[in-house]
Amino acid sequence: METYATALLYAIPFFILLMGIEIGYGYFKKNQKYKVMDTLSSISSGLTNIVKDSLGLGVILVSYPYLVDHLAVFHIEATWLVWVIAFFAIDFAGYWNHRLSHHVNIFWNQHVIHHSSEEFNLACALRQSISNLIGYFPLMLLPAALLGVPAEVIGILAPVHLFAQFWYHTQHIGKMGWLEYVIVTPSQHRVHHAINPEYIDKNLGQVLCVWDRLFGTFQEELESVPPQYGVLKPAHTWNPIHINFQHLWGIAQDAWRTRSLKDKIRIWFMPTGWRPADVALEYPRRGITDVYHFKRYDPQVSPYLRGYAIFQTLATLALLLFMFYNYSAIGFEGLLLFGAFIFVGIFGYTTLMDGNRYGAWIEAARALAGWMVLSLTGDWFGIENFWAGGPRLVAIYFGITLAGALFFGFIEKNPQHQTVRS
């Protein structure tokens, strides 16, 4: 986990830099693809995901090292050919895992967060799941394990393969000629994120597009069908923790309400969106029927709240980078507490972003808890070892958080929720 945290220490600033370049390009071209609150929600989602993954929160059904140790038919050295085979194996497994997530109800829950943005930009790529608490992906690497691909090779290539999927989440790059037949391109991935009937569940490849062409899930981006982004049952929230579990909660409600014992069981494994007939009739759910004319989620907020959300997102990012920088010294129990502050903070300020004022109580409680940690330890997870004024700065941060909670909870009036038509 420490190696992964070190990789993120360098990857996160790089991703933020690329987002800044894309925002700047959109500004100068007068073709901006970013909206402030949507972007903050995307970044916040990414932060929850990397905290969860860097702390190893979840249960792995079986690890890849176990599979290769017990099932390998061959034992091979890590030559250049093995690296190539491993990359193809990871990409092949990624394709089928992605396809499973799109086609089975329970697995869609761990992927819906990635599609929840109604914009399409590099920030959208950061929307990653925290609800995938049971790790089964190594099972999809069974072919690599049988071939005896070393675990060290998979361990290095897996994060590289993941980070390689960031760049193509953009609308500013058109079709790329012959590369359209080799790799997943921005054009192909725009199709994947679109909710147009022509595009649903297409282009499931992650780095190579050969699997889509081979297994019949490829769809070219059509000039006559401009992609519309989001999900057919919109999230209607900026809170990434809510988004992560909305679909799961909906399945659980339907399983409880249906009178059919068979449906209570099979609903989890039916195609995405399937509902028991009796529940669908008694508890109908609205979805998007016209993808070109629907109300995008954009609640009206004051400039003060927008500024506060920007501040909290940047402060949370800074705190997280410090956590990765001091990862080994903080220790596991300290990391769990630090991670809890990150999660609660994101839940609090994104709740405020939605216009729900109970988020102010969450922010106030977090500020007081932060001051308590500072008071009891005289430090903030070892920050004083790097900067003598660090604890004071953290105390000021929690003071701003408490002031924001008081302002948005008791002074600023709750604005009416309004949405704008696309």
pLDDT tens-digit profile of 307-337? 999 999 999 999 999 999 999 999 999 999 9
Binned at pLDDT 50, 70 and 90, residue 248 comes out as: very high
Question: Is the residue at 262 inside a domain?
Answer: no
**Confidence (pLDDT) at 15:** 93
pLDDT of residue 91 exceeding 90, the answer is yes
- Cα separation, 408 vs 127, whole angstroms: 27
In percent, the amount of the chain with pLDDT more than 90 equals: 88
- Burial of residue 24 (CB within 10 Å: 0-12, 13-18, 19+) is exposed
In percent, the amount of the chain with pLDDT more than 70 equals: 96
Digit-coded pLDDT (tens) for 255-270: 999 999 999 999 999 9
- Burial of residue 248 (CB within 10 Å: 0-12, 13-18, 19+) is middle
When the pLDDT of each residue in the chain is averaged and rounded to a whole number, the result is 94
Q: What is the mean pLDDT of residues 112-118?
A: 97
Q: Give the residues across from 208 on adjacent strands.
A: 183
- Cα separation, 389 vs 374, whole angstroms: 13
Question: Is the residue at 276 inside a domain?
Answer: no
**Confidence (pLDDT) at 256:** 97
Picking from 215, 250, 279, the residue at the C-terminal end of a domain is 215
**Confidence (pLDDT) at 11:** 85
**Confidence (pLDDT) at 415:** 53
Picking from 215, 245, 268, the residue at the C-terminal end of a domain is 215
**Confidence (pLDDT) at 421:** 41
Binned at pLDDT 50, 70 and 90, residue 34 comes out as: very high
Q: What is the mean pLDDT of residues 161-179?
A: 96
pLDDT of residue 416 exceeding 60, the answer is no
pLDDT of residue 78 exceeding 80, the answer is no
Picking from 199, 215, 231, the residue at the C-terminal end of a domain is 215
What residue numbers bound the domain in which 326 lies? Answer: 303-421
Binned at pLDDT 50, 70 and 90, residue 4 comes out as: low
Question: Is the residue at 261 inside a domain?
Answer: no
Q: How many structural domains comprise the chain?
A: 2
pLDDT of residue 418 exceeding 80, the answer is no
Choice between 76 and 188, residue whose per-residue pLDDT is larger = 188
Digit-coded pLDDT (tens) for 175-188: 999 999 999 999 99
**Confidence (pLDDT) at 76:** 80
**Confidence (pLDDT) at 1:** 58
Q: Are residues 28 and 125 in the same domain?
A: yes
- Cα separation, 401 vs 35, whole angstroms: 24
Q: Are residues 202 and 337 in the same domain?
A: no
- Cα separation, 64 vs 62, whole angstroms: 7
Q: Are residues 180 and 79 in the same domain?
A: yes
